[in-house]
Amino acid sequence: MAGPKTTHPVTIIGRAGGGLDNATWAKSTGHARAGKQAELSTAAVLDEWARNNPGVAVLHDLDVPRAGYTANVDHVVVSGNSVMLLDAKSWAPGFVWSLGQSSYRGLKPFPSAAKRTLPMALDTYTEHLARHGVTGIDIRCALVVWCSRREGKVSTWALASPGARVIPGLKLAANPRRYLPRKPADPAITSALAQLVN
């Protein structure tokens, strides 16, 4: 005879796009607005995923706890003992590609695509979790890219993002099962990471 079915709560912590509300560091208000829209679009997919897969934890807008460094991770998905760090980007239409350590949009250098924030965050989060007694975790990174315009497309098939898988935003939205884990989150991991939410 089967026992009672275990139910897991829906866990969504934080508010997406909050780090871009007063982004004086952004190139322009238009860049900040586009970046916030990318975060909100990604959050909509992740929040729906958490609601459809109770037990998966989704966290938004987390600090990277590294002295002398100001950065954030847009989204985190915790599933079992796996952690997925996601950085959401909104780029103008075009072909974005990499050659060696350099990235380009068309034929022009595009250093925004070659930032190393996610690999640095991976190391920092591993240290943060270890300080909270959480070890043996699998942390992966993903760069979610949305087109900043309704017309056009950002092609990223030849883009190598340092330490991260590149996922087109529309593909994530169309088939989240292909990209997102769905086991109930380890509560110790969720609790330790929730301390970093802005």
What are residue 82's DSSP bridge partners?
79, 138
Q: What is the pLDDT of residue 7?
A: 65
14-18, 125-129, 131-135, 169-173: which range is least confident on average? 14-18
Q: Which two tokens stand for residue 11?
A: 């866990």
If one compares 9 and 128, the residue with the highest pLDDT of the two is 128
Q: What is the pLDDT of residue 25?
A: 45
Q: Which two tokens stand for residue 3?
A: 């026992």
The one-letter amino acid code at 13 reads: I
Helix ranges (H only) for 115-168 are 117-131
The one-letter amino acid code at 56 reads: V
What are 125-159's pLDDT values in tens digits?
Answer: 999 999 999 999 999 999 999 999 989 999 999 99
Q: Going along 46-113, which residue ranges are E strands?
A: 57-63, 72-79, 82-91, 94-99, 102-105, 108-109
Banded model confidence at residue 15, pLDDT cuts 50, 70, 90:
very high
CATH 3.40.1350 fits 11-194, yes or no: yes
Q: What is the pLDDT of residue 10?
A: 87
41-45, 114-118, 153-157, 184-188: which range is least confident on average? 114-118
Q: What percent of the chain has pLDDT over 70?
A: 91
The rounded distance, in Å, linking the Cα atoms of 130 and 23 is 31
Q: What is the pLDDT of residue 66?
A: 82
In 3D space, the residue among 49, 69, 59 whose CA is nearest the CA of residue 14 turns out to be 59
What are 21-37's pLDDT values in tens digits?
Answer: 655 545 667 777 888 99
Residue-averaged pLDDT of the chain: 90
What are 26-84's pLDDT values in tens digits?
Answer: 566 777 788 899 999 999 999 999 999 989 999 999 999 888 777 899 999 999 999 99
Q: Which two tokens stand for residue 101?
A: 């350590």
- pLDDT at residue 167 above 90? yes
Secondary structure of 39-52 in HEC code, one letter for each residue:
HHHHHHHHHHHHHH
Residue extents of the structural domains in the chain: 11-194
CB atoms within 10 A of CB 24: 6
